[in-house]
Amino acid sequence: MTDKAPHGGNIYEASEKFGIDKKNILDYSANINPLGLPESMKEIIASSIENLVNYPDPYCNDLKAEISRYLNIGEENIIVGNGASEIIFLFFDTLHLRKVLMPAPTFSEYARAARGFNIEIDYFELREDESFRLNVDRLVSHMGNGVDALLLCNPNNPTSTLSAKEDILGLLEFARRNGIFVIIDEAFIELTVGSNENSMVEALAKFDNLFIIRAFTKVFAIPGLRLGYGLGSKTLIRKMWERKQPWSVNSLACSMGKLLAEESDYLARTRQWLEEETEWFYNELNRIPGLKVFKPQTNFVLIKILVDGFNSVKLRSEMAYKGILIRDAGNFMFLNDKFVRLAIKDRKSNVRLLSVLSETLKELTDDSRQL
């Protein structure tokens, strides 16, 4: 990575830079389910440790079977990878695209992966005056100029906006008529109110030009374990398996299919937390002077600093010294150094965040007035 801090969640670097113990960092820069590790995780790992002496199943067949049941989709439509990252790279490596259209601001790994395969990127600007929501009519008018793929992150990172299924179905129809492939990253879909009901999984049966990226990372709070998957046509998925590095999914990750079957209670609690907390957190943030808060539709929220005299870099470092890591969103395409992104966590943490944030904003505002 050329940029040393392109993403949230690097508590290792932050701990060194700001001189705080990793264990005392409240990490609002990574968007992970605050319910933490599911109950059955430790058991699954404990019962899989002895199996580390064997190579992982290169085709992760047990895992594919569980995903197949969970989403009611054929096993031959599933590819499994080392996090969503490998799925993104593998997709570009397999499909040989020329030019991909990306609504932005969005997750920067798509662009990095595309550049690695010499794929041209055409950015479509999500506008602040539209609250960064995807304007489908405006997007369709951009789907020309040799674009052969459209990449949507839904819900989108960092804007926390979710597009409606009808809108995406319209895009899929238009794209198919024009020979355009559509990739949808649903890494956060289970962290929206409605969960898989907001997913485009069912459309796979109808659209061969659709590929969906998913992950265990966010919803089961296991970014450390590396487990993502992709859903697409049999032909595409077969080609991707052929291109794939063998054994890239470790055998502990391969065992995580059980979570889908055993953790329905965890998923229910996640949904309940999400419904209560996103609304509450949004309202509380709105009470803090000097901020513009964009309404979140998943477990993080984009915020704009309205006060002159300091920026997202300053706010991030001031809060980091107080033990809270937030995401400076200034390096996202079409955003600037007035934007930060916050995770949404459990109530107790959120209360602390709100207090530290409002205190820090007040200090910085006072400082900037004295200048």
Residues that bind a second copy (CB under 8 A): 1-2, 7, 9-12, 27, 30, 32, 36-37, 41-42, 45, 48-59, 61, 82-83, 85-86, 89, 93, 109, 116, 221-226, 241-248, 250-253
Q: Tokens 């489908």 appear where?
A: 136
Q: How do 228-231 and 210-215 pair as beta strands?
A: antiparallel
Burial class of residue 302 in the structure, from the number of CB atoms within 10 Å of its CB (0-12 exposed, 13-18 middle, 19+ buried): buried
Q: How far is CA 211 from the centre of its chain?
A: 16
d(CA 239, CA 234): 9
In order of 135, 137, 308, the CA distances from 167 in angstroms are: 9, 9, 37
- We find the least distance from the C-beta atom of residue 185 to a second copy, in angstroms, to be 15
For 305, the enclosing helix (H) or strand (E) is: strand 300-305
| Nearest residue (CB) to a second copy, 58 versus 74 | 58
Q: Which residue(s) pair with 26 in the sheet?
A: 324
| Nearest residue (CB) to a second copy, 81 versus 143 | 81
Identity of the amino acid at 202: E
Tokens standing for residue 120: 């041209």
**φ, ψ at 291 (rounded to 5°):** -125, 145
Q: How far apart are the first and last CA of the chain?
A: 37
| Nearest residue (CB) to a second copy, 50 versus 137 | 50
**φ, ψ at 231 (rounded to 5°):** -125, 130
| Nearest residue (CB) to a second copy, 86 versus 263 | 86
Sheet holding 327-328, edge to edge: 291-293, 300-305, 339-343, 327-328
Identity of the amino acid at 180: I
- We find the least distance from the C-beta atom of residue 176 to a second copy, in angstroms, to be 29
- We find the least distance from the C-beta atom of residue 15 to a second copy, in angstroms, to be 10
d(CA 128, CA 122): 19
| Nearest residue (CB) to a second copy, 10 versus 317 | 10
Alpha helices by DSSP H, 178-248 = 234-243
- We find the least distance from the C-beta atom of residue 13 to a second copy, in angstroms, to be 8
Over its C-alpha atoms, the chain yields an Rg (Å, rounded) of: 21
- We find the least distance from the C-beta atom of residue 284 to a second copy, in angstroms, to be 24
| Nearest residue (CB) to a second copy, 253 versus 293 | 253
| Nearest residue (CB) to a second copy, 20 versus 139 | 20
Identity of the amino acid at 131: S
- We find the least distance from the C-beta atom of residue 81 to a second copy, in angstroms, to be 10
Q: How far is CA 3 from the centre of its chain?
A: 19
- We find the least distance from the C-beta atom of residue 272 to a second copy, in angstroms, to be 20
- We find the least distance from the C-beta atom of residue 9 to a second copy, in angstroms, to be 4
- We find the least distance from the C-beta atom of residue 362 to a second copy, in angstroms, to be 30
Tokens standing for residue 275: 């419904």
| Nearest residue (CB) to a second copy, 96 versus 206 | 96
Nearest to 362 by CA among 282, 288, 286, 283: 288
| Nearest residue (CB) to a second copy, 58 versus 290 | 58
- Other CB atoms within a 10 A radius of the CB of residue 318 amount to 20
- We find the least distance from the C-beta atom of residue 256 to a second copy, in angstroms, to be 11
| Nearest residue (CB) to a second copy, 217 versus 360 | 217
